[in-house]
Amino acid sequence: MSTFKTIQAAVVVATLSTGAAFAQEAKPSTVPAPSGAVDKVGIAKKLANPIANMISVPLQYEFSRGVGATQGGSEQTLLFQPVMPFNLGGGDTFIVRPIVAGVREVNVQGASGQPYSGYGIANVTIESFYAPNTNSSWIWGVGPYAVSPVSNSGKFGSQQTGLGATGVVLNRAGPWTYGLLGYQSWSVGGNPDFGTQNNLYGQPFVAYTTKDALTVTANMEALYNYDTRRTSNPLYVGASKLMVIGGVPFSFGAGPMYYVSNTPGGPSGWGARATATVVILK
Please report, for residues 51, 122, 204, 225, 238, the alpha-carbon distance to residue 127 in angstroms, rounded to integers and kept in the order given. Answer: 11, 16, 17, 18, 24
As a whole number, the mean pLDDT across the chain is 87
Do 15 and 76 reside in the same domain of the chain? no
Do 5 and 131 reside in the same domain of the chain? no
Do 63 and 18 reside in the same domain of the chain? no
**Arithmetic mean of pLDDT, 198-225:** 97
Domains in the chain, number: 2
Do 127 and 88 reside in the same domain of the chain? yes
State the residue range of the domain holding 12: 1-31
Q: Is beta strand 115-131 parallel, antiparallel or unpaired with respect to 92-109?
A: antiparallel
Do 9 and 84 reside in the same domain of the chain? no
- Is the whole-model pTM more than 0.85? no
The domain that holds 165 is classified in CATH as: 2.40.160.40
- pLDDT of residue 233 exceeding 50, the answer is yes
Instruction: Count the helices and strands in the chain (H runs, E runs).
Output: 3, 14
Q: What is the pLDDT of residues 234-274, one digit of tens each?
A: 999 999 999 999 999 999 999 999 999 998 888 999 999 99
One-letter amino acid for residue 48 of the chain: A
Alpha carbons 116 and 130: distance in angstroms, whole number:
41
Do 110 and 9 reside in the same domain of the chain? no
**Arithmetic mean of pLDDT, 65-75:** 90
Do 9 and 107 reside in the same domain of the chain? no
Q: Where are the beta strands (DSSP E) in 54-91?
A: 55-67, 73-80, 84-89
